[in-house]
Structure 1
């Protein structure tokens, strides 16, 4: 009766051995994983330093009236461009015109008084020659003439001031630029040099101020001056694929002892109006030396504890683990300072689904760096400087 269990055990063992052999056979016949691979790129690059800032307009005007009065007319479209000298607001000119007319009348009167004083002085001087009048009276006539002349000069000065006030009833744009909304509308009373009418900003170019620490400045940019056409790239938030090219046009005359930084300004042409004051911007400034470096997609680099590594493909289509030292990032690509050779082929998508020692089926792709800014064209920076 014990024979049946023994036979059953032998039969089960044979089934397990057969399944194991079938599994091993399926594994050997399964094709290796297909992944994207590409030779490393070798390109000339410049070392970039990145800073953040807010854009500023070269000229900002808070427009205020120079005379007090009632706003009679607004002569601009809000949010539109204006030119220097354009009339923007008109203040009721009638009180100022009346003051001008009053002073003109007083001047006519003062001129008549002066003429009379001159005649009296002339007669007194003639009588004095014959001792027919006292010397004291002659001096009084001379003084009266001078007083009349001084009064006339004072009235003419008042007239000039009144005519200026009359002219200031037309509030004109002092600069070319973009105007904001009218903060005070028609019919409201305004006070000279206090009421804010609107704001105007010059928008033909934009400034970007930023600070460079003195170690970086001394090691890489100490040769730069305000007259050096050092190029700067600017990227706006949400528009990182279309950088704006500018140049350094101001270097402060001293390092801030409290922060250990040097104040720098870059200027950017804004003929198309894309740049707005107050916009957050990321600036990239490149050192002058250009060197050729190995580049790989940033996603091809993996992290293993504190190490960075790249998976390369050997001649047997097996992945290999290589420690690397990474450098600057350019768009979606990263410089490899050490660890790779020009002949290496890398797994483009990194160790996401594969690992070292795995056989693969290589799927060749091409690394396209045509849209990545690696260096700045010197002709562009020279043309930018010439446009200043």
Structure 2
């Protein structure tokens, strides 16, 4: 047994020493990470600003009583659509009709007195030349004729005013739109010494949104326009998209109407008014919304897919660049706004750079990667 024990021990020792002295270079190499990339290509990009705003009705009419009286009837249905000229309320017309009748009677009386004064004026005019009447009597007759004519004119005006008041007893819609709740009920005394609101009508289609933008942002845009970095979008060409409270986009596009000429002293902001079609009455006055407004175009803009963006511990956005030797390098960025699923790059990249868009979780800075089906340079749409 001892003769075989020594060679076996020597063999085991030789195998152990052989395993310990194995060359690391002979070990199996780590597989190269495969990534997909995209080449950065300049393209025309719209510069959008997302602004807060409030929905406002372009036309608002407060229906008020223009004559004093008792409301007899409410004709309209609360919350319904009304057209200009539709009857809304009926105020008791009896007292107003009586005033009209009285004014017409006073007019007929004044016309009779004017006729009598005119005849006397004509008789005295024929007699004054023959000295049958004195010049004083003729002048008095002439003055009475003129006074009677003035009384007729005054009474005609009183009749016209009485007719207007009688017409105001039938309260009509001054504009077309949606009417709210009635502010008075049947039997209410209105217009007695003060203006009495009866209802409110608001135009809802189209509807407007007043946006607020800081003067600093506007100044930065103007500086970019003057420097030639950006091209201004015309008022009629600017695309305006409304974002609802739930984050969804309003399906109908809007348009920019005008920019106000004064700044709000308390906020340092300026109002930009936009308009949207509202056929289904989804947008109601007073609602707070967000609006994405296209204000400029960068003819040589750069953008990257949102999925290509990483962030460091400080929250700084960065991408993974692939150099000429297919090695990974981290590149911090300054991002602008978003267009669809892409971020606008303000600084950090240049045309021709190749960035990793897939396989980011396996790629490490300094390591060499294998580009798997590199994405060709494509012109990405800037439509929302």
TM-score range for the pair, normalised by the shorter chain length: 0.7 to 0.9
SS at the partner of 2:248? strand
Matches of 1:104 and 1:257, distance apart in 2: 57
Decide whether the 8 Å contact of 1:311 with 1:319 is kept in 2.
no
Aligned to 1:302: 311
Structure 1 contact 45–375 (Cα < 8 Å) conserved: no
Aligned equivalent of 1:219? 223
- Which residue in the other structure is 2:67 paired with? 67
SS in structure 1 at match of 2:213: strand
Deviations 1:172-217 (A, max 9, x none): 1111111111111112111265211111111122222333424134
Distance 1:312 1:83, change over 3 A: same
Which residues of structure 2 form unaligned runs of 5+? 1-15, 17-26
Within 5 A, what are the aligned runs for 1:305-384? 305=314, 307-310=316-319, 320=328, 322-328=330-336, 329-336=338-345, 337-338=347-348, 343-347=354-358, 356=364, 374-375=382-383
> In the alignment, is the contact (CA less than 8 A) between 1:69 and 1:189 conserved in 2?
yes
**CA RMSD between the two structures:** 4.0
1:266 to partner: Cα distance: 2.0
Specify the alignment match of 2:157 in structure 1: 157
Tell me how far 1:236 sits from its aligned partner. Answer: 2.1
- Is the CA contact 2:84–2:176 (under 8 Å) kept in the aligned structure 1? yes
For 1:47-99, what per-residue CA distance to the aligned partner results, in whole angstroms no more than 9, with x for missing partners?
Answer: 21221111211111111111111111111111111111111111111111111
1:85-234 correspondence runs (5 A): 85-191=85-191, 194-209=195-210, 210-213=212-215, 214-220=218-224, 228-234=236-242
Of 104-113 and 122-131, the range deviating more from structure 2: 122-131
CA distance in 1, matches of 2:172, 2:155: 27
Aligned length: 341
Q: Distance in 1 between matches of 2:72 and 2:234?
A: 47
With structure 2 as the length reference, what TM-score do the two structures score? 0.74
- Following the alignment from structure 1 to structure 2, what is the Cα–Cα distance between the partners of residues 66 and 225? 47
| Aligned position for 1:80 | 80
CA distance 1:256–1:78, change in 2 (3 Å): closer
Q: Secondary structure at the match of 2:279?
A: coil
Secondary structure of the residue that 1:136 maps to in structure 2?
A: helix
Q: Which moved more, 1:218-227 or 1:189-198?
A: 218-227
- Give yes or no for contact 1:56–1:207 (8 Å, CA) kept in 2: yes
**Kept in 1: contact 2:58–2:207 (CA 8 A):** yes
Tell me by how many angstroms 1:304 deviates. 2.6
Structure 1 residue 167, shift from structure 2 partner? 0.6
What SS class does the counterpart of residue 254 from structure 2 fall into?
A: strand
